[in-house]
Structure 1
Amino acid sequence: MIRTADLVSIARSGVEASNQLLSTTGNNIANVNTDGYVRERTSFVAQLTGGVGQYTTERVMNTFAQNQLRRDTTNLAEHEAYWTKTAVLDNVFASEANSISASMSRFFASLQTANDDPTNMSARQLVLGDAESMLGQMGTLSTFLTNKEREINFEFTDSLNKVNSLVESIASFNESIRIAQANNRHDVPGALLNERDAAVLELSSLVSIETRESSNNDGSIMINLTSGESLVMQDGTFSVFEVNNSADLSYKSLQLTSNGKPTSLNLSETELGGTIGGLFRYRDEVLEPSRRELGQIALAVTEAVNTQNRAGMDFDQQLGGEIFTRPITTGLNYPTNADNTSIVNGRISKGGASDITSADYHVTIDGVTAGVPPTIDVTVALLNIDGSPVTDVDGVPISQSYPGLTAQSGVFSEVLGGMELEFSKGTGYAVGDQFLLQPTKDVADKIEVFTTRPEDLALASPIRVEAGDDNLGGAELVSTTVTNTFVDTSPFDARSSGFDGAGGIHAPGAAPGGSVGAPASVRFNSATEYEVLDSAGTIITTVSGISSLDNLLAQAADTPGWPAAFDALDNYPGYDFTLQGEPKAGDTFAIGYNANGLNDNRNGLIMANLQNVNGMQLNNAGSGDPVSFHEAYANIVGDIGQKSANADIAVKAGEALKLQSQDWFDSVSGVSLDEEAANLVRFQQSYAASARLLNTAQEMFDTILSMVR
């Protein structure tokens, strides 16, 4: 081994090396309580000429442990954000005090009480009071959810500002680390690296990221989202998050915009991870579905009651009207529309309770035709909350084209999904214009009780069927049904019924076609044949070969003799009845308006039983078995509860995983006082020995000098 260095040089290098070791150890001990500090280690190389060579100080780091800690931090932050928000909704919906189901039960129970004595005004007034209470409960929940949307949008903004600040800081740290390492190749800038790692760890709690070291070996790192988009790039540029949206300004979506390039990338919020990903998951999986499903229930309940009330006769012996308002939803303009003042309004159609879903409606203008009034061609498509198309059981997007719709204020045209649309702008639309309607999103707090008069409750049926006094057979009335009470005069609207709106049914000359009136009686020729007659006794049609006495007028409508003018309408005459037993030739059953039928509760009983009818859709495609109002609400409560419970389990699992990864990281990179104290003693001894060697060399030098004097 070649050694040419003198004893003084060797001793001096030993003192300097021991001093550096003591300095590194002292720095570790001093920072034992510093968050994010990674312990450092100094190593040396021996010189061929003797003594200690160049030292290198580096951080003690296990990259795998660090990356695992970041991943577990991301995972836990996402589950915590999701669970914290979901648990709040779970507590609200599960509370008996906030139960929509309870308020619906009270409303239908008061209807049942009113049916016990249809002439009791106090009982009728109680129905309206419980209706107000039910709507108030729905409105309170709806307002609460709306406030939660505003709250989460503020959190989005705050979290994104943090992300952008951290990304910019990391890019700045990269530049500082490059300069520091270029100026000192043998001493890593530990403080800068620790601060950058702390920023990266905090960033990982907000979004899911991956890091890579720069290929230039200059100490800088590159950061990507797990989905692949770059946040911090090798050339020093970085990307920032921007909030973007299309028509719905309250529904935030994200874009990445680079500070060095004029490009923007849309992001899939479901793949973000971290706190921001958890917030987006909560919004899309819990908050927004709950709002729309609550609105769907509110619309379905109120329109079902409205539909049934229209099918009855009120205390003033008039055809029933609407008990609840049908709120109008204004379509949201897309930014690319030719005129941002264009309006498309929507509302639930009459009788649309069983067809309405929680889907949004996307309306596209395909054509505009001038005229008086102008007409337009549109395509209506159903959308999920995230803007993706609703598909049927075969995976085909659900949409429908409607050519030639009247574009005039006050004119609503029925479309798919239990909705009707109004194009009040007339010729102000342009081909390609798009509108987004969200009929169930905020509707629950906009529905009101339309009437204050208890007399407007149509508890009675407007039709009375009476057996002839001379009947000899055993046929008896089982039930009457009223499915349409729309009143119109010639030229008849397709929706017209056989009711004349003046306390009667269409007489000859007033009915469609003008030749015969609405069905007013049935006369049996035998047990298997009957005639349908109008109020003047004119035979409308004869039905032969019957095997059932169910829905006699519906059977008559299927015969060749049924008037074409009746058949051209959607549902004429809109009433029917069913018998049981065996009729005899000559037996008659008269059909007439239920004048003075104030004690009748037939329609009220049907109305009160609506809560037990499976008349609501559970999915946006309108497929599957329908459910009752109570089942629909229970589905909301159960779904939120299940998601909250699953999130709670995920949080506990995430905490355990993060604790393990933190322990792993700390076991490698954390400062151990016991270890550092032992090093301190060892390096002190090394320093003392080197100093003693230096002193010995000095004494020997002095001795040699004295010998030659």
Structure 2
Amino acid sequence: SGEPMLVGSQQARFDGAPDPGDSARTAVRMTIGSTTHWLDAPALGGGSLAGTLRFRDEDLASAINQVGRIAQTVSAAVNSQQSLGIDMNGNAGPVLFSVPQPVSIAGAVNSGSGVLTTTITSAIALQPSDYDVSWDGSNYNVTRIADGASSAFPTLPATLDGLSIAASGAPAVGDHWRVQPFAAASTGMTARAINPREIATAFAATIQALTTNTGTGVASGFSIVRAAAANTLAVSITFNNPPTSYNVSGLSGGPLANVPFVAGQRVPASPADYNGWSVVLDGRPAAGDTFNVSPVTTPGADNRNALALAGLAKSGLVGGATLNEAYASALGDIGTRVQTGQAAADISSRLSDEAVSRQQNVSGVNLDEEAANLLRYQQMYQASAKIIQASQALFDALLAATNH
């Protein structure tokens, strides 16, 4: 990584410690004397430790966030649609899924008493990312880690990407928090144990045209858009003479008169609903024609909410993608990251082999060459031994001649 291992007489010490920005994670630090350097994967460069950190902080985090967003979205969508219907007993549909809420973790070196609380306000707006929040004395700076997008808020609570972030206590300048919307969503999602009769297959109300109507007006697309006690109140929509407008009676907020009629338009255009429901009026109704909204009394004969539940599978709930598309995208991203990692490992292995080969060519040991050298040295030794032996014989002969 280029960091010094020895400065003067002081040696560097490596260890793991709670991450300054996320006390729930362990970060690598290098300490020389009283100076501490925090080393992330880019700072470490290559090697197994850098690879492990990169996997944890990037690849694994991306997979957790993508799958977690799907879990949160499915849970919210199904629970919401379930609540808009009634079960076989005529009761409002109970919650089917439970998913852990986002977590906000204070930095390990925070000196203030600030605490963040994060809740989900719109599952469909969620982004597959963690967030870093810091306080600079004037603003809470919120950075989406996946792409680096940043927003500043002088005060909290604030809403961002389907999340509501609130603060309490007194933060100190430089304090950090890590917001993890999906920390335990994929592993902590649970289904409530319910009786099949508690599945909300029916709508709470229905609309019918009077049999005495003389026009060709029709009501279609009736849907419950907001769970409310008023869903089951009896309501009448009666067309005036001329039938360019209508009156509405039985609404929880009081009757309405002379509401303009536009064929094919969802009713109401404003507000968003009547007693929690809406409908499309079309055709050419005649003066006096009436459409009545009444409560459903036989839930077992009504499957409209069951169809709405099934329709969620084809809705663009996850960033505009269907559930199958979002899951396929998550798997594709994971596969791409695996292939990229494998390719990087293969390249690193080849570079390592080439470096070892170059080192061996310069200073390494060639076994064949060394064997030849040993044989040559052996022959030289044997030749030297014969020279010594011949010299000894000659010396002995000289001594013998001298004695005589």
Question: 3-state DSSP class of the match of 1:598?
Answer: helix
Gaps spanning 5+ residues in structure 1: where? 1-224, 368-376, 392-396, 406-413, 488-498, 506-519, 558-566, 618-625
Aligned to 1:591: 293
After TM superposition, list the pairs within 5 Å mapping 1:167-316 onto structure 2. Answer: 225=1, 228-233=2-7, 235=8, 237-244=10-17, 245-258=19-32, 261-271=33-43, 272-316=45-89
User: 2: distance between equivalents of 1:663 and 1:402?
Assistant: 61
The alpha carbon displacement at 1:467 in A equals 0.8
Question: 3-state DSSP class of the match of 1:632?
Answer: helix
Give deviations 1:15-61, integer Å, cap 9, x for gaps. Answer: xxxxxxxxxxxxxxxxxxxxxxxxxxxxxxxxxxxxxxxxxxxxxxx
User: 2: distance between equivalents of 1:607 and 1:544?
Assistant: 33
Task: In structure 1, give the amino acid aligned to 2:35.
Answer: T
Question: 3-state DSSP class of the match of 1:477?
Answer: strand
The alpha carbon displacement at 1:304 in A equals 0.6
Are residue 523 (structure 1) and residue 267 (structure 2) matched? Answer: no
After TM superposition, list the pairs within 5 Å mapping 1:381-396 onto structure 2. Answer: 381-384=142-145, 390-391=148-149
CA pair 257-576 structure 1, distance change in 2 beyond 3 A: same
CA pair 549-672 structure 1, distance change in 2 beyond 3 A: closer
The alpha carbon displacement at 1:642 in A equals 2.4
Task: In structure 1, give the amino acid aligned to 2:303.
Answer: N
The alpha carbon displacement at 1:647 in A equals 3.2
1:666 to 349, 353, 360: 360
Question: 3-state DSSP class of the match of 1:255?
Answer: strand
CA pair 645-274 structure 1, distance change in 2 beyond 3 A: same
The alpha carbon displacement at 1:479 in A equals 0.9
Q: Which is strand-richer, 1 or 2?
A: 2
Q: Which is helix-richer, 1 or 2?
A: 1
CA pair 674-616 structure 1, distance change in 2 beyond 3 A: closer
Are residue 419 (structure 1) and residue 159 (structure 2) matched? Answer: no
2:248 to 533, 539, 544: 533
Query: Scaled by the length of structure 2, what TM-score is found?
Result: 0.80
CA pair 539-675 structure 1, distance change in 2 beyond 3 A: closer
The alpha carbon displacement at 1:310 in A equals 1.4
User: 1: distance between equivalents of 2:210 and 2:261?
Assistant: 22
Give deviations 1:526-545, integer Å, cap 9, x for gaps. Answer: 68722241228975143337
User: 2: distance between equivalents of 1:552 and 1:500?
Assistant: 16
Question: 3-state DSSP class of the match of 2:337?
Answer: helix
Q: Which has the higher contact order (CA 8 A, sep 6+)?
A: 1
Are residue 578 (structure 1) and residue 293 (structure 2) matched? Answer: no
Aligned to 1:470: 212
The alpha carbon displacement at 1:299 in A equals 1.1
User: 1: distance between equivalents of 2:61 and 2:117?
Assistant: 21
Give deviations 1:194-234, integer Å, cap 9, x for gaps. Answer: xxxxxxxxxxxxxxxxxxxxxxxxxxxxxxx2xx432245x
After TM superposition, list the pairs within 5 Å mapping 1:75-224 onto structure 2. Answer: none
CA pair 453-415 structure 1, distance change in 2 beyond 3 A: farther
CA pair 536-257 structure 1, distance change in 2 beyond 3 A: closer
Are residue 504 (structure 1) and residue 233 (structure 2) matched? Answer: yes
CA pair 685-665 structure 1, distance change in 2 beyond 3 A: same
Question: 3-state DSSP class of the match of 2:100?
Answer: coil
Aligned to 1:454: 196
Partners of 2:267 and 2:273 within 8 A in 1: no
Task: In structure 2, give the amino acid aligned to 1:294.
Answer: V
Aligned to 1:359: 129
Partners of 2:202 and 2:306 within 8 A in 1: yes
Aligned to 1:429: 169
Are residue 640 (structure 1) and residue 342 (structure 2) matched? Answer: no
User: 2: distance between equivalents of 1:270 and 1:526?
Assistant: 76
User: 2: distance between equivalents of 1:257 and 1:440?
Assistant: 33
1:439 to 171, 181, 196: 181
Partners of 2:246 and 2:261 within 8 A in 1: no
The alpha carbon displacement at 1:301 in A equals 0.7
The alpha carbon displacement at 1:422 in A equals 7.0
Gaps spanning 5+ residues in structure 2: where? none
User: 1: distance between equivalents of 2:205 and 2:124?
Assistant: 24
Question: 3-state DSSP class of the match of 2:25?
Answer: coil
User: 1: distance between equivalents of 2:325 and 2:162?
Assistant: 20
Task: In structure 2, give the amino acid aligned to 1:551.
Answer: R
CA pair 647-327 structure 1, distance change in 2 beyond 3 A: closer
Question: 3-state DSSP class of the match of 2:245?
Answer: strand
- Identity rate, percent: 24
**RMSD over aligned Cα atoms:** 3.7
Partners of 1:298 and 1:444 within 8 A in 2: yes
- Count of residue correspondences: 384
User: 1: distance between equivalents of 2:99 and 2:251?
Assistant: 39
Partners of 1:359 and 1:382 within 8 A in 2: no
Question: 3-state DSSP class of the match of 2:77?
Answer: helix
Task: In structure 2, give the amino acid aligned to 1:480.
Answer: F
After TM superposition, list the pairs within 5 Å mapping 1:535-554 onto structure 2. Answer: 535=250, 539-544=255-260, 546=262, 548-554=263-269
The alpha carbon displacement at 1:616 in A equals 0.4
Are residue 327 (structure 1) and residue 69 (structure 2) matched? Answer: no
Question: 3-state DSSP class of the match of 1:521?
Answer: strand
Partners of 1:243 and 1:253 within 8 A in 2: yes
CA pair 312-382 structure 1, distance change in 2 beyond 3 A: farther
Question: 3-state DSSP class of the match of 1:354?
Answer: helix
Question: 3-state DSSP class of the match of 1:583?
Answer: coil
The alpha carbon displacement at 1:364 in A equals 6.3
The alpha carbon displacement at 1:309 in A equals 0.9
User: 1: distance between equivalents of 2:261 and 2:5?
Assistant: 79
CA pair 528-334 structure 1, distance change in 2 beyond 3 A: farther
Partners of 1:292 and 1:442 within 8 A in 2: no
